[in-house]
Amino acid sequence: MKKIILLLTVVAAFIIQGCEGPEGPQGPVGPPGDTISAVYEFQNVSFSYNSTDGYVFYRQIPGMYQSDVMLIYRMNGTVNATTPIWQQIPRTLYLPQGELDYDFDFTRTDFNIYAGGNYDLSLTPAYLTNQTFRVVIVPGYFANKGGKTVDYSDYNAVIKAYNIDDSKVKVLE
């Protein structure tokens, strides 16, 4: 008799376990953009000059998380009409006039790109006007994923590694 009661109890437990009640309310939505990369393009960039910083290009961007990282690439030419060549900055260009350096700094809300060199940069206006830059925001979330080795100097490798939709680049001025 005890075995039958034990068997019925186990069967009843399985039956009750399989029952399903009404679905509960939707849980809270996580923070927006927590793991979303972004790419911004700045076209026709012309550096401005001031006596403190030299040649500089300053822009504000939508806020980043504290752990996010910014990468900046300069378009150095094109292979064809649809294939740009991107070079990561900081970058030193060796020109007949001397060395020209592109560098940058950033905060969570803005960035500066600097052009400097060991000669009078006004002698090479082609490197100070009508430039195109891409700013890639890589969420800090990815840094904790481990195992990924990315060549950050290769724009296309970064885009691929972080599953960034390159067709949705936001062009800002």
pLDDT exceeding 70 applies to what percent of the chain?
75
CATH number at residue 59: 2.60.40
Query: Which position has the higher pLDDT, 28 or 108?
Result: 108
User: Considering the domain boundaries, does residue 31 fall inside one?
Assistant: no
Secondary structure of the chain as H, E, C letters? CHHHHHHHHHHHHHHHHCCCCCCCCCCCCCCCCCCCCEEEEEEEECCEEECCCEEEEEEECCCCCCCCEEEEEEEEEEEECCEEEEEEECEEEEECCEEEEEEEEECCCEEEEEEEECCCHHHCHHHCCCEEEEEEEECHHHHHHCCCCCCCCCHHHHHHHCCCCHHHCEEEC
User: Considering the domain boundaries, does residue 136 fall inside one?
Assistant: yes
- The number of folded domains in the chain is 1
Residues 50-59 have pLDDT tens digits of: 999 999 999 9
User: Considering the domain boundaries, does residue 126 fall inside one?
Assistant: yes
Position 32 scores a pLDDT of 46
**What is the domain range of residue 101?**
38-168
